[in-house]
Structure 1
């Protein structure tokens, strides 16, 4: 089976951090040279990555080490990190995923600190090692050919932790913000989940739940820094190929918007389709206090979900995107060009087992021909339907 059909499940029931997840993916078979190349492309000559084997509460695990090669790395804003990633020579899926993770992190940090996402100063998150964790995880997923990621409930921890802003309670505010809509548990004492780890899981995983049905290929165990007696401080990753597939796993991404100039909506829908959405549409709604609004709905292939979430934040004024996992079963389709009024127009033919179930002239091509001929679109459309029938492109007919 092609690598593009692979899926991975993250076991974060003991917590999650960026270096732990990256260590687990490397342990599961991701290419360390490819990961190093991706990180080097974003922050050249800044860090060195290495992996060694350690024990955590008696379990073998891979420990990722990120060694700084420069002194006093600067604090960075989301705007500056975005520029680094956009300018780097990265495979498109790696770039899209990395932008989605940092975009989600910036939204959360901005909400916590009351500033715009672009102006968030990441402090710990903006340091070289965290950029390496995010870009490294995205490169590891690409190396393994992972098109679908899911994860367990996440252990967040308890107690207090010291940060650049002072001593704050665990879970830290950014972790709680990132956990919205996800299943979480306390799980133990200390900071078990970091903002970077939560951003990676919630931005890249399409669903939260138990290990999905798969034909298992490899597993990986990534170690945290501490070795806590009686509780393995690890993240596990399970990689395999899906079984018993009766359709295609996709996501419905939704956002309620009540403050966008309505003239922008056609461009927003077009941008989302260009970004790889299977479909995009608007639903008129009435929000609290009687405000008219729209729900923007995007049907997203799992592998394009991260990029489409980022596009929704970029193209609209929404401050949150919710998502639902769905199963899409689509008919096979092909295109047949039929002669019409001295030209040809494509007819989309949906079929199954060699039998035509639907045949529809492509409206945009019909409209373009009508404009060229100076005829009403309705007239040309009726002629296109008749031309399709003449070619026996009708429900129940055999596929030509």
Structure 2
């Protein structure tokens, strides 16, 4: 069944609050920390505690940094860290897209070229962990559709590395340009730049959530205490339902949930640009991308670039494909798809823990496949072939379910 993640910035939104809410929701801490350990950023650890705000119990996450760290990082430095990491391809592209989004906002605010942007707060270890951690969380949840309530941004002033700035800070407003927001809120910075990037880059903001059945709820607590509201970010994960009350997938999706296929033909575009276009489309919200060879007019060899995108991301994906290629246009049309309900099950193998993705249709088991990135990591650690780890993981999963 298709799932929905409903994001409610009750007291605001920040990267650490998102991670905390995800852990309170039930995202496995060990899997999150294992993915973040591949970033190659030394000297940090997650400190997770239980706390309460206005009688609401939840999780609080602190990224504890130990040892000397760079005072600032260029966008290219952060991109290199992410590209060299062991994050899954989709999580890696999502993190890169979020950092590029932040970089472009900073460049616009400070009137400099993107290549000249140096991050201060966002370049710190805790912010890198927050952004990459959010991408990992979405990956661990199986990339559900994410819908967020329009946030209140706060008011007053906040002290930053650039001096005293009005709330919301210019970078936050730039990140949320074109995104529904609510004026007012608590006196203070309710939405941080990282929080704004996560809302704008991972969610459909200000869209009324379709009917869904809540299954799990998580609360992430912020550091500050507001006098008029609990400073929490709430995540609710549940199964999408149709207007008739049936499970999503039993009927064609309503227009607002439409999936679009976008395609364009290329016969004069270097291969490096094709690869970049596919990365950019994923970062813009595409669900899948591909390139296939074709024969064009006058017998010219060419490529068909394709992407699947939800209605909310169609324009952004189209812009990414056109901006990164030599094409002067593309075509798109709505499509229907049957999507399996997905569940990640961790199994113990001879080589270590591996997650297995299990797919079901209407409750019927359709298949199980070990996560490649997990298997590749275990194979590197033990010097064996990836297929050996995959076979062991599948055998362990079958043994666990008694088949």
Deviation at 1:54, TM superposition (A): 0.9
Match of 1:198 in 2: 196
CA contact (8 A) 1:23 1:63 kept: yes
CA radius of gyration, larger in: 1
Match of 2:369 in 1: none
Where does 1:161-310 land on structure 2 (aligned, <5 Å)?
161-185=158-182, 186-244=184-242, 245=248, 246-247=252-253, 249=257, 272=277, 300-301=309-310, 308=317
Q: Give me the whole-angstrom Cα distance separating, in 1, the residues matched to 2:94 and 2:316.
A: 7
Give the TM-score of the pair, scaled to structure 1: 0.66
Deviation at 1:268, TM superposition (A): 6.9
- Asked if residue 121 in structure 1 is aligned to residue 118 in structure 2, the reply is yes
Match of 1:10 in 2: 7
Match of 2:336 in 1: 330
Where does 1:140-179 land on structure 2 (aligned, <5 Å)?
140-179=137-176
Cα deviation, 1:156-213, whole Å, max 9, x if unaligned, reads 1000111001111111000010111111122121100000100011011134323332
CA contact (8 A) 1:43 1:128 kept: no
- Deviates most, 298-307 or 38-47: 298-307
- Asked if residue 94 in structure 1 is aligned to residue 88 in structure 2, the reply is no
Deviation at 1:46, TM superposition (A): 2.4
Classify 1:45/1:183 alpha carbon distance in 2 versus 1 (closer, same or farther; 3 Å).
Answer: same
Q: Give me the whole-angstrom Cα distance separating, in 2, the residues matched to 1:279 and 1:90.
A: 18
CA contact (8 A) 1:100 1:309 kept: no
Match of 1:49 in 2: 46
Give the TM-score of the pair, scaled to structure 2: 0.65
CA contact (8 A) 2:98 2:131 kept: yes
Please identify runs of 4+ aligned residues in structure 1 that moved more than 4 A: 250-254, 262-280, 301-314
Match of 2:27 in 1: 30
- Asked if residue 82 in structure 1 is aligned to residue 82 in structure 2, the reply is no
Q: Give me the whole-angstrom Cα distance separating, in 1, the residues matched to 2:215 and 2:319.
A: 31
Task: Please give the secondary structure, in 1, of the residue aligned with 2:237.
Answer: strand
Match of 2:381 in 1: none
Consecutive unaligned residues in structure 2, runs of 5 or more: 243-247, 291-305, 327-331, 339-403
Equivalent residue for 1:139, pick from 121, 131, 136? 136
Deviation at 1:36, TM superposition (A): 1.0
Q: Give me the whole-angstrom Cα distance separating, in 1, the residues matched to 2:149 and 2:230.
A: 16
Match of 1:70 in 2: 67
Deviation at 1:50, TM superposition (A): 2.2
Pairwise CA RMSD: 3.7
CA contact (8 A) 1:108 1:178 kept: yes
Classify 1:30/1:77 alpha carbon distance in 2 versus 1 (closer, same or farther; 3 Å).
Answer: same
